[in-house]
Amino acid sequence: MTRMSAPLNLPAFNLADTIRTIPDYPKPGILFRDITTLLGDARAFRRAVDELVQPFAGSKIDKVAGIEARGFILGGAVAHQLSAGFIPLRKKGKLPHKTVSVEYALEYGVDHMEMHHDAVLAGEKVVLVDDLIATGGTAEAAIKLLRGAGADVVAACFVVDLPDLGGADKLRDMGIEVSILLAFEGH
């Protein structure tokens, strides 16, 4: 005997309400948008992943690249839904095999992002995923790294955009389609 359950008639909810805001972190004047509360809510996590995947439904995406660390969580789930491979983009010295690297500017100094030298084949269609875009420096570096390895970066997806900081526009100026679920004012 097959048992069927009744459809769930759950009330609508606002995805933004599942994101915690932490004032003055990591420094005074900053409102940190913490998606760990979204990730901890099964319904919100599922909805966010579904919405990140939606623009690519029916498209051939070869790989999804995720920026360390929350981009790994989201990117892995997106890659699974798209039946694509996953590329971890990590801080310098964290990957065990031969890597390629890009240096990029931070507010105070520089940093490096790496991926395995054989993570992507020339011409593979790649979607970049991370939790948040602010100034766009890290995402820009990721795109340069992927393109330098021959990837065709078709889009970048983020749960949160801080449009006052201009990062999404910076990526659009690079010819990248940008998909964003939520925007918050401020820094």
Q: What is the pLDDT of residues 161-176, one digit of tens each?
A: 999 999 999 999 999 9
Among candidates 87, 81, 56, which has minimal Cα distance to 157?
A: 56
Taking 90 as the threshold, does the pLDDT of residue 106 lie above it? no
H/E stretch holding 91 reads strand 85-91
| Domains in the chain, number | 1
For 17-23, what is the mean pLDDT?
A: 96
The domain in which residue 114 lies consists of: 59-183
- Angstrom distance (rounded) from CA 170 to CA 129: 16
CATH number at residue 120: 3.40.50.2020
Query: Is the residue at 19 inside a domain?
Result: no
DSSP-derived letter for residue 4 is -
172 is known as an active-site residue:
no
- Structure tokens that stand for 149 in this block: 């390895």
pLDDT at residue 75 greater than cutoff 90: yes
Instruction: Single out the catalytic residue among 20, 33, 47, 70.
Output: 70
Please determine, for residue 14, whether its predicted confidence score (pLDDT) is greater than 50: yes
Cα-Cα-Cα-Cα torsion 44, 47, 51, 52, nearest 10 degrees, comes to 60
Query: Is 107 a residue of the active site?
Result: yes
Residue 74 reports pLDDT greater than 80: yes
Catalytic residue among 3, 33, 51, 107: 107
Check pLDDT > 70 for residue 7: no
The reported pTM is 0.91
